[in-house]
Amino acid sequence: MDIKQKRRRFRELHQQGFFILPNPWDIGSARYLEKRGFQALASTSSGAALAVGRTDGELTRDEVIAHLRVLCAATSLPVNADFEAGFGDTPQEIAASVRMAIDAGVSGLSIEDARNRILLDKSEAVERLRAAREAIDRSGEDVILVGRAEGFLRGRPDLHDVIDRLMAYSENGADCLYAPGLRDLEQVRAVVAAVAPKPVNVLLLAPLCLSDLAEAGVRRVSTGGALARRAYTTLEQAADELLAIS
C-alpha cells in the first residue's frame, strides 16, 4: 500500500470492530509483526529508546522523526506514532513537529497531556492538541489524531478528571481517545461511554483481557513498550546463562 492507502485503511479500522495494535521498536520487529498477520502497528517511545541504549523520553524530535520514517518505510501496514507530548514548547512548534511526522509517513499520531512526566493543565493540553489538529488539517492528509490523558500514569488516577480531559480532547479534534494505565474494566466501560461514538484505545495491562475489552466496546488495544521489554528481558536471561557457564 502507498501512504494514502495506508491512511485510508487505518481510518477504516477505526470505524467499526476491534483490532490489536502491537508496538514494534525497529525494522525487524515491525516486519515480524506484519508477517504474523496484524492489521496495523504503532511505535513505542520506550521501545525505540531502549533499542538505542536510552531511556524513555530521551530521544530528540529529530531522532524520533528518523525512527518513524524508517518504521513506516519498513512495512506495508499503517503506523501510528507514539508522538509523546508533541515535541514543542508552543502550539506553533507542535504544529511544525506534527507536520514532520506526517511527512515521515505516519497514519496516526498521539499527543500526550504530560511533559517530563508532569501532567499539564487541561487548558494547555487542549491548546496543544488543537495545534496538532490544525497541522493535520492543513496538510490535507487523512491522519488519525489520538488524544491521550496520562493521569493514571502520572500520579493522578482520577477517573473523573481523565474522562473530563478526554471529552475536551474529543471536542477539540481528537479522532480517537486513549487513557493509558486503566486496569479496571468498569473504568474502561465508563471511558468508552463518555466519548462515544469516537473510538477508544486501551493499553493492554493485567488483569484486562482482549475478549472483555472487545465486549466493552474498545476499538483498538496497544501493547506499549511491553513487547520490547519482553524481548530485552529474554536477551538478559540468555546473557546471564552464558555468563554462568563461562
Predicted TM-score of the model (pTM): 0.96
Cα dihedral sign, 16-17-22-28: negative
The 3-state secondary structure of 141-171, one letter per residue: CCCEEEEECCHHHCCCCCHHHHHHHHHHHHH
Half-sphere exposure (Cβ direction) of 242: Cα atoms closer than 13 Å: 6
Q: Residue 246: its pLDDT value, please?
A: 81
Pairing of strands 114-115, 19-21: unpaired
Give the start-to-end residue ranges of the domains of the chain. 3-244
Find out whether 180 and 207 touch, Cβ atoms under 8 Å: no
pLDDT in tens, 51-77: 999 999 999 999 999 999 999 999 999
Extract the C-alpha cell encoding 195.
466519548
What pLDDT, on the 0 to 100 scale, is given for residue 52? 95
Which residue stretches of the chain have pLDDT < 70? none
Tell which CATH classification among 3.20.20.60, 2.60.120.260, 2.30.42.10, 1.10.1740.10 matches the domain 3-244: 3.20.20.60
